[in-house]
Amino acid sequence: MISFDIESQVFFDFFPQDWFNIDMKLLNFLFKILPTETAYAHCDIPCGIYDPFRAQQAAHTIIRMTELLGKVEREDETKAEHDISRMTHVKEKHSDILEEELNTLRDDYFKEEHFKEHPNLNELFIKTLKSVSKARQNISLGDAEATLNRVLEISEIFFKTKGVESVRVKTVYPTAREIVLHR
Amino acid sequence: MEPVIKEGNEVLVSSVPFFFFKPKVGDIVAFKKFDRVFIKRIRNIKDDEYFLKGDNDKDSLDSKKVGWISGINILGKVLIY
C-alpha cells in the first residue's frame, strides 16, 4: 500500500527521510488517514518462464523460408511475386521473433554469473544477432544455418544453467535439422 | 522487492524529497506504468530516464520489460517500509 498526498508531503517536510524510529502508533495513524493505493513490487506476468524453444523454432522457420525462396518457380511471374512476398514476410516475421527471444534470454534470463561461467556467451549473442540480420538481408542458406547453429549453442548453455542435460535431436520439420531439448 | 519490502507491507511514499533532490541510484521509488503503481529501486539514470529493478534479481521484472521510466512517471520516494 502506498500513501501520497499533500498531508504526507507536509509531514515529511519536517522529518528526515530515513527516520526509522518513528512511533508506530503515529505511523499506523498516518496509514489510516492518508489515502492508500495498492502498489506492485513484483511482475504482473509470470516470471522465470524462459525457454529457448521459440528461438529455435524461429531459426528453423528462417531456414525453411530461405529454402523455399530458392525454389520459387518463375513460370507464372505473378504467382512467383506473390509467393516471394509471402515467404519474405514470414522470414522477416520470424527474424523479429528470434531477435526478441534472443534479447529476452540475454537481458532477462542470463545473469552476470552465467556470463562469467560462459565467457563466450555474450559474443555468441552478438554473432547470432548479426547472422539474423544477414539472413534477413540475403537469401542465404549459409547465414540461416549459421543462425540456427548459434541458437542451438545458446540453447545448450541455457539448459546447462538450469542444471539439466541437453540433447540435440533431429526435428520432424521439413528443415530436417537439429533442435536442442533437455532430458 | 523482497526482502526489503514483503508482500502486504504498507509503505509511505512522498514526492517531497524530489522537490529538493533529484532521484538517485539506490532510491526505492513508486512509479506509474501500465496504469498500475509499481515499486522498484533505481539502478541507473540517464538524463531524466530511470532504469528500475527490484531487489530480487532472479524474479524481478526489470526495466528491460517495463522500459526506461521517465521522471514524470515517478510518484515519489518510498520513505518508510
Measured between CA atoms, the residue of chain A closest to residue B40 is A41
Among the partner-chain residues A17, A36, A40, the one whose CB lies closest to the CB of B38 is A40
**Residue A112's pLDDT is what?**
78
Chain A residue numbers with beta carbons less than 8 Å from the beta carbon of B7 are 41-42
DSSP reduced 3-state for A94:
helix
pLDDT of residue B68: 77
pTM above 0.90, yes or no: no
Phi, psi of A90 (to 5 degrees): -65, -40
Measure in Å the smallest separation between the Cα of A125 and chain B Cα atoms: 17
pLDDT given for residue A3 in this prediction: 45
Instruction: Dihedral sign for Cα B1, B6, B7, B8, please.
Output: negative
For residue A68, the Cα-to-chain-centroid distance in whole angstroms is 27
Q: Which pLDDT tens digit goes with each residue over A53-71?
A: 999 999 999 999 999 999 9
Yes or no, beta carbons of B13 and A2 under 8 Å apart: yes
Inter-chain touch A22–B54, beta carbons under 8 Å: no
Q: Kindly provide the b/e burial profile for residues A47-61, where b requires at least 16 CB atoms within 10 angstroms of the residue's own CB.
A: beebebebbbbbbbb
Q: Please, are residues A12 and B18 in contact by the beta-carbon 8 Å criterion?
A: no
**A167: Cβ contacts below 8 Å, ≥ 6 apart:** A180, A181, A182, A183
Cβ–Cβ < 8 Å for A41, B39: yes
Rounded to whole angstroms, what are the CA distances from A93 to A109, A124, A132?
23, 22, 12
Share of chain B above pLDDT 90, in %: 14
Listing DSSP states for B45-78 in one string gives EETTEEEEE-S-TTT---HHHH-PEEGGGEEEEE
Choose, out of B33, B42, B61, B69, the residue to mutate when testing the contact with A (most A CBs < 10 Å): B61
State whether residue B28 sits within 8 Å of chain A by CB: no
pLDDT digits (tens, 9 = 90+) for A90-100: 999 999 999 98
Q: Flag residues of chain A having pLDDT under 50.
A: 1-15, 17, 20, 44, 46
Nearest Cα neighbor of A99 from A154, A153, A59 is: A59
Chain A within 8 Å of B75 (Cβ-Cβ)?
A: yes
The pLDDT of residue B59: 54
Mean model confidence pLDDT for chain B: 80
Residue entry with cell 512467383: A80
For residues B50 and B41, give the distance between their C-alpha atoms in angstroms, rounded to a whole number.
Answer: 10
Residues of B in contact with A8 (CB under 8 A): 12-14, 16
Tell me: the pLDDT tens digits for A20-35? 455 667 777 777 788 7
pLDDT of B7 > 90? The answer is no
